[in-house]
Structures are given as C-alpha cells and as structure tokens.
Amino acid sequence: MIINVYSLSIMFSVLFLLIVIELVRKNKLQERYSLLWILMSIILLVLSSTPVIIEAISRWLDIKNPPSLLFLFGLGYLILYNLGTTVTVSRQSERITRLTQELALLRQKITDKDS
C-alpha cells in the first residue's frame, strides 16, 4: 500500500470523525458544537478521497501543490472556528460579570433587610 498525503488525510478524517462521535456519546462535547466538527471531517474526507476536485480547485487558485489545499482549507476552518469561539467566550464573560454584579446586589439587599 502506498501512503500519500491523500490517504493520510482520509485516515485522519475518519479517525477525527470517530473521536468527535465518541466525545458526543460520552457527553464530553455538546451536539451543537460537534456538528461543525463532524461537517469539517466529512468535507475533508470527501476532498481527500477525490483528488480530482482538489486538483481542479488548486489549478483555479493557482496552488502549485494540490494537497496544500487540504491544509489551507483546514487552516481557514480553524481560524473561523477560533473567531466564533472567541466571540462566544467574550459574550459568556460579559454575562458572568453581569450575573456576578446582580448576585452582589441581591446579597446586599438581603443583608440590608436583616440589619
């Protein structure tokens, strides 16, 4: 068996898909977050298993080494996913700050009533 970048990518995609499914099954990853990872691994699996598509897109984008497109696609996805995660973390941080302030005000009201 000849191992090239396409077969390595196929193996990685299948392994990654199985890991994501296992994390969801064990309730370590919520379904809403897993959908993007499952979609990413399926797209990578399809692209890896059809080098004709990769080569056509590479020619269109003038990429000299077609397998590099797989890495470019993965990198682009990770950058976008990281941005989305950062937005979510920022939003959650603001909500936690607001909840902490509301809790402090409620505790103050309770303390004032007892006094």
Q: 101 is in which domain, residue-wise?
A: 5-114
> Comparing C-alpha atoms, which of 13, 1, 9 is closest to residue 66?
9
Q: Is the pLDDT of residue 31 over 90?
A: no
The alpha helices in 1-115, defined as continuous H runs, are: 5-25, 31-49, 51-61, 68-114
Which token pair is 51? 């080098």
- Report pLDDT digits (tens) over 46-104: 988 888 988 999 999 999 998 888 888 889 989 998 998 999 999 999 999 999 999 99
Give the number of domains in the chain: 1
**pLDDT-derived band at 1, boundaries 50, 70, 90:** low
